[in-house]
Chains A and B, each alone.
Chain A
Amino acid sequence: MKPVECEFESEVLAATLQSRWPERVDADLRAHVVTCAICSDVVAIGGAFDNARERMRTSVTLPDSGRVWWLAQLRARREAAEAAGRPITAAQVIAFACAVGLLGACFGATSKWFQSALGWVGSSVAGVDMKAVLPSAAALVAGHGVLLIAAAAVLFVVPTAVYLALGRE
């Protein structure tokens, strides 16, 4: 099995990072690097990383630590306020739904018009002959199958697309 690490790797890397390579290192180490694929790779990339790190660290202007702390405080407070408000909003929604349900139940129990309409719908449904309806429904599906599948796909795809788009926002 091919070795993936070498015992001299850290020594070679240190020499590279401390700009001692190749003049100020032992001749034995130099000879080893020539024959060791791992150490020769370390020499090849070590200096480049060192230069890149120094350059990147010195070229950037970072925000002040006090400003980062202050922004973090503000954001934590805002998120805490939102989190505290969330159960209240949920309770308000539930209370509103209960009130609407109660109102609907009172209306249904007391309105003669609603009860007669409900009775008419019930008798209409009971009067439908399912054996007669099924073949015509099957014929409709067979005749307009592609259209129905497309409509079903749109009904599924559009809400999904809207959800994904809003989710990414």
Chain B
Amino acid sequence: MTFTDVSRAETLDDASAAFVMDEDAFRAFYERTARGVWAYLARVTGDRQLADDLLQETFYRFLRAAATHDSEAHRRNSLYRIATNLARDARRRSLIRAPFSVSCDDIERVPSSEHGGAAERMADFTRAMSHLKPRERAMLWLAYAEGASHREIADVLGLRPGSLKPMLFRARRRLAALLGRAPDGGKR
């Protein structure tokens, strides 16, 4: 065995040891978070296929980041921050290659057993979301689907907590207007 072989073998061992958690811990964390992260990616990018790819990349980068987290919430924030950055990069690449458009019809797969009302409301929601900017979609999804606090959303999206509130307010107003619903659930 040459010095080069020894060096490579040591590097390979280091690569395995560089992950922030062992397999059991990772699998448990993945089971807890993957569905939420996938839904977030699919909603922000507007593309199920892309969300599949970015999900794997998100967890890989999370493992390779070798960062220590003091709580489960902190760990989740790191994961969503990585996902946000990947979605943003993917969007930039799409802007260079072709105009980015949200393929609304592909985000939700409506079961054939489901009848008109619910499916139609979901299509309306998806269409309304597609009219928002990616960052607005991200902040609304984190706030109202993931139940994240303002501080957590600001951390994930790289914004100042102070500037998040008015941005969230405007995004919510826009979406509510696009949905055109009154508080009692009926159409305005």
State the A residues within 8 Å of B (CB). 4-5, 13, 21-22, 33-34, 37-53, 55-57, 59-60, 62-63, 65-66, 68-69, 71-73, 75-77, 79-81, 83-85, 88, 168
Contacts and interface: CB of A to CB of B under 8 A. Distances in A.
A45 B179 contact: yes
A80 B15 contact: yes
Contact of A56 (B34, B42, B121): B42
A43 B27 CA distance: 36
B55 interface: yes
A51 B38 contact: no
A76 B18 contact: yes
B109 A59 contact: yes
Contacts of A168: 93, 96
B101 interface: no
B82 interface: no
Contacts, number: 138
Interface size class of B (residues with CB under 8 A): 35 or more
B172 A76 contact: no
Contacts of B64: 72, 76
B63 interface: yes
Contacts of A57: 35-36, 39
A71 B183 contact: no
Contacts of A13: 144
B140 A22 contact: no
Contact of B35 (A41, A42, A62, A88): A62
Interface string B19-60: 100010011001100111011001100001000000110011
30 contacts: A40-B183, A42-B172, A43-B183, A44-B179, A45-B140, A47-B185, A48-B121, A50-B144, A51-B121, A51-B122, A51-B125, A52-B122, A52-B125, A52-B145, A56-B42, A57-B35, A62-B34, A62-B35, A66-B23, A68-B56, A69-B30, A73-B16, A75-B60, A76-B63, A76-B64, A80-B15, A81-B8, A83-B11, A84-B8, A84-B12
A43 to B, nearest CB: 4
B1 interface: no
B98 interface: no
Contacts of B60: 71-72, 75
B173 interface: yes
A46 B183 CA distance: 10
A41 B109 contact: no
A37 B31 CA distance: 38
Nearest to B61: A72
A53 B26 CA distance: 23
A84 B11 contact: yes
Nearest to B146: A53
Given A68-B30, A80-B11, A84-B8, A63 B183 contact: no
B121 to A, nearest CB: 7
B175 interface: yes
B145 A50 contact: yes
B93 A81 contact: no
Contacts of B175: 41, 44-45
Given A44-B181, A53-B145, A75-B60, A62 B55 contact: yes
